[in-house]
Amino acid sequence: MVDPSLHHLSRLTAVELRDALASGELSARETTAHFLSVIEAGNKQLGAFVTITAEQALQDAAAADGLHAKLNREGRLDELPVLHGMPTAFKDLTDVAGVPTTHGSAALEHKAAQEDGALAATLKAHGVISLGKTQVPEFGLTAYSENRVAPPSRNPYSLGRSSGGSSGGSAAAVAAGLVPFAPGTDGGGSIRIPAGACGLVGLKPGRGVVPSGAGAGDAAKLVVAGPLSRTAADAALLMDALVPRNEAPDGGYLTHVGRAPEPLRIGLSLDSPWAGAYPFQIEEEALDALTLGTNLLEKAGHSVTEAGIRYDNRYPEAFTTAWTAGVGSARIAPQREALLTPLTRTFRRRAQQRSALKVNEALHFLRQFEHDTVTQYSAWDVILMPTLAQTPRPIGWFTGGGHSGEQWPSEWAGDADEDYKRQCEYAPWSSMVNVCGLPAISIPVHTTAAGLPMGIQLIGRAGSELQLLQLAAALDVSFDR
């Protein structure tokens, strides 16, 4: 039974919770038990978790308390791991030892992972306690977290709407207070999109900054791991565990996150490499967020001017080729192919029909696109735009299913190409950042009249992760629910 006096724990920032655990004010066991009770109470409605690993989490918490007691007796509490006893969760694309990894797909056999994947191993070594696995789209392919494995991940601000994807379950869990923070992975917007939808700070680090975030079979080097959190300081704390000490700023990210950066030249751009293939409309709420974000940045001493960016119109085809190449080679038994969602099945078939030469041409083009785009961005310190072009979308909106119940029907109504088009119109400023290998952050700045969060995205230069976190801290916009 959880002590009722611990109910405030979900309102603590991750940094505050870390300090309480490190000092011994809170034990890892009582903290873990509290968050497990919150998950039990809220997840059925939210759909954030696919698997809850309560028994293992409590065992790990007991071990963490044992370590704390030992180090305390020996006067060595300064040797505690940086995230000692901190509860979190991993998206269901990341292997966690002893827990099935569904990859969001009913077409796979869901066997327990033999060992931790690199991301889980890194964070566990720094002291985190995993409470379970969170909802994702099939193979992480989409900007919404709905699949045939479990109920859709819903937005805590409006349960009829999506929490985004592919780190949608993790974002919903953080925003609803089911965990204090969580790692996400981002190959085309999968941290920033759900952060924007759920009113969180979501940082996509630059290519190679977080070694454990890279994915096998990612020929275009798009995927990187990063934090989802309620504050910039909490994101900085998680970065201190994700980034090797010798690669991080002196003293770490958290030490410096509260320092305001020097005045920056910020280029505001609504241009998108998807505009030619999928002309999109920007909703008023997204423009309102951009205006508010611009005003906050100018008030903080930065100059914001319009930036005209030209993108090569061959980008959509090349990105789509690279983005979907992996699903073409996924090991799926022929008799289970019919269990794939229509979007995955369509893009898998196309990937299998595509020649290796075509894929190599796409990868070569994307490297040239990276060079050309980074060169244009370099005229400014930071590039600014809305995170999303539209408010969080209703559950079922992308697939055309319009289904809002707990489980999906056996046949989805949606057309794969219409689904993909809608995603590109919803998040037209995400994927090119992955292609360029640059860091980018989504920062919540606005609440719509309907109570939905909207954010801005800032794209920095290579190596500017700390600067982006400092900008987020300086804006200091709270989206506590």
Residue type, 353: Q
Can you tell me the distance from the alpha carbon of 236 to that of 21, in angstroms, rounded to the nearest whole number?
Answer: 18
Can you tell me the distance from the alpha carbon of 420 to that of 433, in angstroms, rounded to the nearest whole number?
Answer: 18
| Positions marked active-site | 91, 166, 190
- Supply φ then ψ for residue 175, to 5 degrees: -65, -30
Task: Give the H/E segment covering residue 40.
Answer: helix 28-46
Kind of pairing between the strands at 265-268 and 382-386: parallel
- The tally of CA atoms less than 13 A away on the side-chain side of residue 265 is 8
Can you tell me the distance from the alpha carbon of 467 to that of 454, in angstroms, rounded to the nearest whole number?
Answer: 21
Can you tell me the distance from the alpha carbon of 79 to that of 244, in angstroms, rounded to the nearest whole number?
Answer: 17
Least Cα distance to 138 among 123, 150, 121 occurs for 150
Residue type, 324: T
Concatenated DSSP letters for 280-328? -PPPHHHHHHHHHHHHHHHHTT-EEEE------TTHHHHHHHHHHHHHH
User: What is the chain's Cα-based Rg?
Assistant: 21
ω into residue 166 within 30 of 0, thus cis? yes
Say if CB 280 and CB 424 are below 8 A apart: yes
Can you tell me the distance from the alpha carbon of 148 to that of 100, in angstroms, rounded to the nearest whole number?
Answer: 15
Say if CB 113 and CB 130 are below 8 A apart: no
